[in-house]
Amino acid sequence: MTAYKLLHRREGRGEHGFVLVTALIMLLVLTILGIMAIQTSVVELMISGNDKTHKQTFYQADGGTELAQQLIFENAICTTTKNGFTETLTGTNAAHLGNTIVVEVLQFSDTNPASSVVSDTNREFVYYPYTDINDPSTAATFNTRQHTNFLVQSAVQVNPGSGMQMVSGYEGLGAGSAGGGTSRLYTIAAQHFGLANSQSTITVRWRLDNFLISSAAAQDCKY
């Protein structure tokens, strides 16, 4: 009887040790899985954040092209009637439009830049959406903040139907021949610098009929 009890006790002690080792191994496995899950979540959050930042920067650049079209129209009118935008910055060839826009080339709708690559050093006007450009305390940090650079190229084109009959097969012989005049085809490059050094550049084309510009009066120029 005594030998049986001792044997039973020894077997029980061995089983207790096995359970402890198994529990430690399971705890280690669960800890590793937990760390991997946390790391995966962190990576996914970073990817999601980068994607959000990229999209914000892209849409800021895309929306900038709409602003550029309005400013091109205004600048074309002012260039025709008042020799471009009015210089408003003493000692510089630039104009402030409100609190967020600086125009560095006063007749950009009529002139083409030497290079078509838009950048902080090669732009015709710039938009600072979250900066008051009339606050002198922020002047030194303008280009370290979010901003959109613009570069505009233009070419004069004859409108369809002007000066000649259209070829047969395009709405019939002579179709559109009553039309006339010329227009300017603008190539607009908008480059936005956003959060976390993100950057996006959008290029679009926009056509403006010269008749609208030539019929403008001096009072139509807002700037």
What are the tens digits of pLDDT across the range 43-81? 887 777 788 889 999 999 999 999 999 999 999 999 999
Does residue 7 surpass a pLDDT of 60?
no
What are the tens digits of pLDDT across the range 136-146? 888 888 999 99
| Position with higher pLDDT, 149 vs 26 | 149
Task: Show the beta-strand stretches assigned E in 125-181.
Answer: 125-127, 147-158
How confident is the prediction for the chain on average, in pLDDT? 84
Instruction: Please list the residues that pair with 191 across neighbouring strands.
Output: 149, 201
**Displacement of CA 5 from its chain's centroid (Å):** 82
Separation of alpha carbons 92 and 87, rounded Å = 8
Query: Whole-model pTM above 0.85?
Result: no
